[in-house]
Amino acid sequence: MAYKINGKLRGLKPYVPTQEITGVIHLDANESFLNLTPQLIQDAADAVQNTAFNRYPDPYAADLCQAFGNYYGVNATHVTAGNGSDELISLLISNFLMKGETIVTTAPDFSMYTFYPKLAETNDVEAVKGNSFSITPQKLIDTVKKSNARMLLFSNPCNPTSLGFTREEVVQIIESLPDVLTVVDEAYMDFWEQTQSVLGLESRYDNLVILKTCSKMGLAALRLGFSVSNEKLTGLLHSAKSPYNVNSLTQEIGALVLGEKKCLQSHIKQIQQSRDSLLHGIEEILFRYPGAFQLYRSCTNFVTFRFPEAEQLYTYLMECGISARQFPGFLRITAGAPAENQAFLAVMESFFHKKSTLEKGG
Ligand SMILES: *Cc1c(COP(=O)(O)O)cnc(C)c1O
């Protein structure tokens, strides 16, 4: 007799990051192209000096949640810190759903939304977006009702489409589904407008959880994410999580950086400017090669365009030392440093130039 691996683990593949590949311009992971300022790195080093390494961290990360609350203007008693928002997504799916219950996600959306439901042995129903990459709130609501789902999870603005529901639309969804837990992942809201965020509405709805992450604003290395929900849901999350999920260094450095609102906002502004110039550069290529691909506006830190030969362009970019993220029939490019955007645009231009020369020749 041999030990037999269970069905849900069989066929599972490890996540493959591209970070290991050196000498490549990384425009694939939606990271910030800006590291912390030298002053903040010094402050972080000082915090490390003063850490009690022999002691467990604060299980509820009180100071950190207070710093997050101050930054976004939410009540710290509504906040749960996680080891990245990834941990909180996993926690929500495995604890707020019973085995066999249904979660609705949208497609395309963040890849982890379909990964965790499989491990939790729940049913995942996808509300599929059309060619425009959008879905009406009503269609989403209908899908949830028809499938008797207990949870709805989507990113807003959406990764990888770069588009967002307005706050009014999200409120319509929450209010139309009072017996469904709606989880709104606002990982990219900082790059859009705070007026579109549903932060603050958690005290009005007992079926709302909002997710945030520090990864996209330049703290990906720390592994730090947050959920915001009313006191009852927050209490349940605190009870269901593993006790010391956020380590002391992340708590101290996270609180310190969130306290430097001006600095973070200046970085976010630079990322928005990079996104706009990347979008503009791609628009110019589209102008020279009309109809070559379909470009979407972006309210995130990346640009997405639909293109039947996305895989070829992806491979060509890799050969030229640039990593993008490819999906079936479309590509996602993270806004990088100005020189990185320029390098990407030059390769993209060269791809379409070659392609059009070939087509004219043949
Ligand atoms: C990047 C991303 C996350 C992951 O956040 P971590 O805090 O790094 O785990 C969550 N949701 C979406 C939609 C993302 O794109």
Model confidence over 132-169: pLDDT tens digits? 999 999 999 999 999 999 999 999 999 999 999 999 99
List domains and CATH numbers for the chain: 25-30+263-359 (3.90.1150.10), 38-259 (3.40.640.10)
pTM attached to this predicted model: 0.97
Q: Is the pLDDT of residue 1 over 90?
A: no
Residue type, 108: P
Render pLDDT for 182-238 as a digit per residue (tens, 0 to 9): 999 999 999 999 999 999 999 999 999 999 999 999 999 999 999 999 999 999 999
Give the tens place of pLDDT for each residue, 250-269.
999 999 999 999 999 999 99
CA pair distance 299, 127, nearest whole angstrom:
21
Alpha carbon distance, N-terminus to C-terminus of the chain? 62
Please state which of the ranges 15-24, 127-136, 274-283, 284-293 shows the lowest mean pLDDT: 15-24
Q: Which of 215, 42, 2 is nearest to 112 (CA)?
A: 215
Pocket of ligand 1 (CB under 6 A): 30, 84-86, 110, 155, 159, 185, 187, 213, 215, 225
> What distance in angstroms lies between residue 361's CA and the mean position of ligand 1's atoms?
45
The yes-or-no verdict on residue 356 having pLDDT over 80 is yes
The pick from 26, 85, 112, 245 for probing ligand 1's pocket by mutation, whose C-beta has the most ligand atoms within 8 angstroms, reads 85
Residue nearest ligand 1's atom 14 by CA: 187
- Angle 50-54-55 from CA coordinates, rounded to 5°: 85
Integer Cα distance of 288 and 181 in angstroms? 46
pLDDT for the residue numbered 361: 74
- Residue 176 corresponds to which tokens in the numbers above? 């139309």
